[in-house]
Amino acid sequence: MKPRFKDLLRHVSFWRTLRVNLVLFPLRTALRFPVLCGRRCDIAGLRRGAVSLSCEPRFGMIVWGISPTPRFSVKGLWTLIRFSRRGTLSCGPGFIVRAGASLLVTGKLVCGEDVLVNQRALVVCSKEMTFGPHVRIGWDAQVLDSDCHLIYDETKRRINMPYASVVVGRNVWIASRANIGKGAKIPDYSIVARGSLLNRDFSSVTTRGNVFAGVPAELKATGRYRLLDIPLEIRASKEWKNLGLRHIDADELGLDVEAALNPLPHTGF
């Protein structure tokens, strides 16, 4: 759904949005405004080629610093977007960084369509990081592909490599305050539970609906999925509140699982 004009006036900084698009893209692309910026965005390091689009440019296919229904107050809350001279972002439609989140790119960051970084989350791509389509990164979560500092191993008298690529598969939900460390490989259709630490390669896991939990995270369950159908979620919530049910039969709701797992990407905010 495209944002209404009054919503644009309320949430979007026109001059910052115009400047960002003109810096990032050729004029013809820039005037389609593929990037929308909020009023409190601290943005630095942008240059031509820092951001590339994996599809035809669309209005509002990238959104930085806007939270129309915030979970934390946005008063005084700034969004931090930083690119180094070699940092690059390639993304599809629906790449959203909510108000108060931080995105630091000094390496190569590749995102599929419909990727959301929620409020106060931190994403630091120092070398190489990949997000598949329909990824959700929850409040206060952190995703880093680096130790950020050098660590000396006195026993082996060596300094270990501080970087290792991170790969987050399709339809992965990284819940609030979860931490994803260097070398993490998360298979498609997985949930990383709230407060967990995942810094291992789980690419050998071939099941779907995986739940990883704990410090360090381990595979705890399979067959559990984060549904991304917002109208369905609203309808189900009304059923629970009105009828006091502990669960709802998915067939009675007319659940289309694949459609709920793979929605159309956001345009606007």
Instruction: With cut-offs at 50, 70 and 90, classify the pLDDT of residue 240.
Output: confident
Task: Determine the Cα–Cα distance for residues 60 and 48; give it in Å rounded to an integer.
Answer: 18
For position 62, what pLDDT does the model report?
97
**Can you tell me whether residue 29 is helix, strand or coil?**
helix
DSSP 103-170: EEESSEEEE-SSEEE-TT-EEEESSEEEE-TT-EE-TT-EEESB-SS--EETTTTEE---B--EEE-T
The string of pLDDT tens digits covering residues 5-43 is 677 778 899 999 999 999 999 999 999 999 999 999 999
**Which long-range CB contacts under 8 A does 104-107 form with residues at least 24 apart?**
104/80, 105/50, 107/145
Tell which wins on pLDDT, 223 or 269: 223
For position 4, what pLDDT does the model report?
63
- How large is the average pLDDT for residues 149-172? 92
CATH of 5-146+153-261, one of 3.40.630.30, 3.90.1170.50, 2.160.10.10, 3.30.1280.10: 2.160.10.10
- How large is the average pLDDT for residues 195-223? 96
Map out the domains of the chain as residue ranges: 5-146+153-261
For position 215, what pLDDT does the model report?
96
Average per-residue pLDDT for the chain: 92
242 pLDDT higher than 80: no
| Cβ pair 226, 136 in contact under 8 A | yes
Query: How many degrees, rounded to 5, is the angle at CA 259 between CA 256 and CA 264?
Result: 155
The string of pLDDT tens digits covering residues 91-111 is 999 999 999 999 999 999 999
Task: Determine the Cα–Cα distance for residues 165 and 243; give it in Å rounded to an integer.
Answer: 47
DSSP 52-118: EESSS--TTSEEES--SS-SS--TT--EEEEE-TT-EEEE-S-EEE-TT-EEEESSEEEE-SSEEE-
239 pLDDT higher than 90: no
Segment among 108-112, 132-136, 159-163, 263-267 with least mean pLDDT: 263-267
Tell which wins on pLDDT, 41 or 265: 41
For position 249, what pLDDT does the model report?
78
245 pLDDT higher than 80: no
Residue 162: burial class (beta carbons within 10 Å; 0-12, 13-18, 19+)? middle
The string of pLDDT tens digits covering residues 168-208 is 999 999 999 999 999 999 999 999 999 999 999 999 999 99
Q: What is the pTM of this model?
A: 0.92
